[in-house]
């Protein structure tokens, strides 16, 4: 963001609400708050104790992640996550539980992550995604950012419940 979306003047660094932010250099009063954007994500359990990981277009060939997406206006997070799974993978899913809220600092997002079970035949949304892989749950390893901590919590919960 370089220019004020209200009046077109240059944005400058200043203080608003007790923090440094970009403010309009003219008198229109615009503040770029840069609040985090809500996102939904899912650990998609699939056949034979596997989890579906996806690869967005443009990602390196060894990067895979959870299905994630933005909410539509007026949509509840649990509707949004099931819609995103259907759109991206073609699978029909049902929510097992909501794992928690995770902050993706680098992308300024708050991710609501669900554990779901899915059925059907995988049909990848080839406009958005370039690959998927089925990872046996016992080979799943969390990564240190974004949705990775949700994977860690999911694995810990699962291990705990298998012991009970
Ligand atoms: Zn302005």
- Tens of pLDDT along the chain (164 residues) come to 899 999 999 999 999 999 999 999 998 999 999 999 999 999 999 998 999 999 999 999 999 999 999 999 999 999 999 999 999 999 999 999 999 999 999 999 999 999 999 999 999 999 999 999 999 999 999 999 899 999 999 999 999 988 87
Domain co-membership, 70 together with 6: no
Q: What is the CATH number of the domain that holds 142?
A: 3.90.79.10
Domain co-membership, 21 together with 92: no
> Could you give the CA distance from residue 48 to residue 143 in angstroms, rounded to a whole number?
23
Domain co-membership, 65 together with 26: no
- 13: CA distance to ligand 1 center in Å? 13
Domain co-membership, 75 together with 139: yes
Q: How many helices (H) and strands (E) does the chain have?
A: 2, 9
Domain co-membership, 95 together with 150: yes
- 78: CA distance to ligand 1 center in Å? 37
Domain co-membership, 22 together with 94: no
β 37-46/109-119 pair status: parallel
- 110: CA distance to ligand 1 center in Å? 28
> Model-level pTM?
0.89
Domain co-membership, 29 together with 72: no
Q: Give me the domain span that covers residue 80.
A: 37-163
- 87: CA distance to ligand 1 center in Å? 38
């Amino acid at each position: 963001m370089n220019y004020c979306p209200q009046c077109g003047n240059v944005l400058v660094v200043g203080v608003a609400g007790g923090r440094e932010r970009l403010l309009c250099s003219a008198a229109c009063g615009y503040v770029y708050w840069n609040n985090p954007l809500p996102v939904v994500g899912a650990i998609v359990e699939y056949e034979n104790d596997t989890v579906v990981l996806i690869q967005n277009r443009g990602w390196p060939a060894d990067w895979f992640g959870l299905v994630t997406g933005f909410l539509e206006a007026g949509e509840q997070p649990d509707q949004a996550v099931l819609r995103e799974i259907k759109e991206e993978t073609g699978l029909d899913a049902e929510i097992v539980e909501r794992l928690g809220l995770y902050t993706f600092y680098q992308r300024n997002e708050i991710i609501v992550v669900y554990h779901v079970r899915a059925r059907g035949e995988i049909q990848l949304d080839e406009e958005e995604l370039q690959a998927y892989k089925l990872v046996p749950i016992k080979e799943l390893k969390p990564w240190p950012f974004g949705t990775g901590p949700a994977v860690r919590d999911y694995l810990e919960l699962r291990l705990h419940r298998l012991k009970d």
